[in-house]
């Protein structure tokens, strides 16, 4: 009986495990590991003259490169698809660094993209002396909506005692973070006033600050963020792209509280069509990152969220999950909030209270494709699913 089979190796650790299983000499590892991982990189809007140089250099290293047919005439711009092993990219970067026409900068960008794909496990420092370990396991963020009109659980936890009880339950069920929100962001919802949001959120934060749990505040308002951080919250989950309230960024810079930057075409740039869905989202997130760090905020305290449901069709939401690995290009931890969302209901033709299975399916795909944090309503089920997926994802052999 033949046991020949195709195998799929996603990184050098998986290549190393297979080499060890075969019994390859240790001295060969440095040569084989970079050859065992194949990567695709898309360079956007490269001048045709420069693109042709990149193409020829990549081909000379044994890799592949594709440009538009118009690029042959040397005018305008073209996207470039690079295809090669890590070794071929290393040789390409080395050669491009020696050339003019902006190729040295492009070489650095290619090198950074490859490095960002496999970040090391690290500690994320929070406010009030707390921290989270990123990369060791998928972190679970439990949703605590203290609103009367959220799409899934509006009105259930507007009472302080009920909210505190639910937060404690989620912690026991496996939540690493409790995300407290006082404003519904569902399509068509009327935004609560500043006073309403503070009245809903702040008393809950003050009560939970005495418990052993990490608190995130789901807000776009600087005043709410500042008050909650002072009361004991540890990080900010911001859906507003730092433009719905210009007062938020100074609060972040002063407090150094980690922040989730979410892509949002529901409240921001509503109706603006996508030219290239994944590239457009990455570009807009990158703009937010650069604006945040330019103000003096530490880059290593930024988390990104591609914003499922915020100005995206069901098909676009599914594609974001499928291509989630592309967002690792930004070199930031990725948060995914898919729990019970409308695109799941649309895809499966089920109401909001029947979306658990769909939510868990999206969760599984997201973790396998690179999500670091999952934001969920159903903590017990999601925690167990994430733990199982982590075990599968981290197996070598």
Which residues carry out catalysis?
341, 375
Contact present, 57 and 75 (Cβ < 8 Å): no
Contact present, 350 and 342 (Cβ < 8 Å): no
Q: What is the DSSP string of 186-230?
A: STTPPPPPHHHHHHHHHHHHHHHTTSSSEEEEE-S-HHHHHHHHH
**Strand spans (E) along the chain:** 38-47, 64-66, 77-85, 122-125, 131-134, 139-145, 177-181, 214-218, 235-238, 259-262, 302-305, 335-336, 373-376
Residue 180 has φ and ψ, to the nearest 5°, of -100, 125
Q: What residues form DSSP beta bridges with 81? A: 42, 66
Buried b (16+ CB within 10 A) or exposed e, 21-39: eeeeeeeebeebbbebbeb
Q: Is 39 helix (H, G, I), strand (E, B) or coil?
A: strand
Place of tokens 């690493």: 176
The pair of three-digit structure tokens given for residue 379, joined into one six-digit string:
């903590």
Side-chain half-sphere exposure of 61, counting CA atoms within 13 A: 24
Question: SS3 for 118-178, per residue?
Answer: CCCCEEEECHHHCEEEECCCCEEEEEEECCCCCCCCCCCCCCHHHHHHHHHHHHHHCCCEE
Contact present, 42 and 20 (Cβ < 8 Å): no
Side-chain half-sphere exposure of 204, counting CA atoms within 13 A: 32
Residue 5 has φ and ψ, to the nearest 5°, of -160, 160
């Amino acid at each position: 009986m033949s046991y020949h089979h195709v195998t799929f190796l996603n990184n050098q650790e998986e290549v190393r495990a297979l080499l060890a299983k075969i019994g390859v000499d240790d001295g060969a590892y440095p040569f084989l590991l970079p050859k065992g991982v194949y990567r695709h990189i898309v360079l956007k809007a490269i001048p045709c003259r420069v693109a042709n140089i990149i193409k020829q250099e990549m081909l000379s290293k044994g890799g592949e490169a594709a440009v538009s047919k118009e690029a042959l005439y040397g005018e305008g711009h073209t996207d470039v698809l690079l295809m090669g092993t890590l070794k071929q990219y290393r040789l390409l970067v080395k050669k491009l660094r020696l050339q003019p026409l902006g190729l040295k900068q492009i070489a650095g960008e290619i090198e950074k993209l490859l490095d960002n794909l496999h970040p090391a496990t690290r500690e994320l420092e929070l406010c009030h002396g707390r921290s989270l370990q990123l990369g060791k396991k998928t972190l679970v963020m439990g949703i605590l909506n203290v609103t009367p009109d959220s799409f899934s659980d509006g009105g259930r936890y507007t009472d302080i005692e009920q909210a505190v009880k639910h937060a404690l339950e989620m912690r026991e069920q496996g939540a690493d973070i409790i995300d407290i929100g006082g404003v519904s962001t569902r399509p068509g919802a009327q935004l609560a006033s500043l006073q309403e949001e503070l009245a809903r959120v702040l008393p809950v934060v003050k009560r939970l600050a005495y418990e052993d749990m990490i608190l995130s505040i789901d807000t776009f308002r600087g005043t709410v963020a500042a008050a909650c951080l002072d009361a004991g919250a540890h990080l900010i989950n911001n859906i507003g792209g730092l433009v719905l309230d210009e007062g938020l960024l100074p609060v972040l810079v002063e407090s150094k509280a980690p922040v989730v930057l979410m892509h949002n075409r529901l409240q921001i740039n509503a109706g603006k069509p996508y030219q290239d869905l994944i590239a457009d989202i990455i570009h807009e997130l990158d703009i937010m990152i650069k604006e945040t760090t330019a103000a003096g905020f530490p880059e290593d305290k930024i988390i990104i969220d591609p914003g499922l449901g915020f100005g995206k069709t069901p098909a676009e939401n599914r594609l974001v999950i499928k291509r989630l690995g592309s967002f690792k290009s930004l070199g930031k931890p990725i948060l995914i909030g898919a729990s019970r969302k409308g695109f799941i209901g649309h895809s499966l033709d089920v109401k909001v209270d029947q979306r658990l299975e769909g939510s868990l399916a999206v969760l599984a795909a997201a973790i396998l494709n690179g999500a670091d944090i999952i934001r969920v309503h159903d903590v017990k089920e999601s925690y167990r699913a994430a733990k199982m997926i982590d075990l599968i994802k981290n197996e070598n052999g």
